Amino acid sequence: MTAEEAAAADAVIDLDADENSCPACMGTIPRGSPSCPDCGLRLF
């Protein structure tokens, strides 16, 4: 992963937010969830 990609991921995944948007399907990922419930993308 390049620094630019890491920065982009940071912008999408905010661990302090109540919810996050999946970078793959733009679905809502609840706080603390290790993966997207909609498409299964693993975040951690």
Residues interacting with Zn ion, by CB under 5 A?
22, 24-25, 27, 36, 38-39, 41
CB 35 within 8 A of CB 22: no
List of E strands, 1-44: 19-21, 28-30
User: Residue 6 or residue 39: which is nearer to Zn ion going by CB?
Assistant: 39
Residue 42 CB, nearest approach to Zn ion (Å): 10
User: Residue 7 or residue 26: which is nearer to Zn ion going by CB?
Assistant: 26
| Neighbouring residues of 39: CB distance < 8 A, sequence distance ≥ 6 | 22, 24, 25, 27
User: Residue 7 or residue 35: which is nearer to Zn ion going by CB?
Assistant: 35
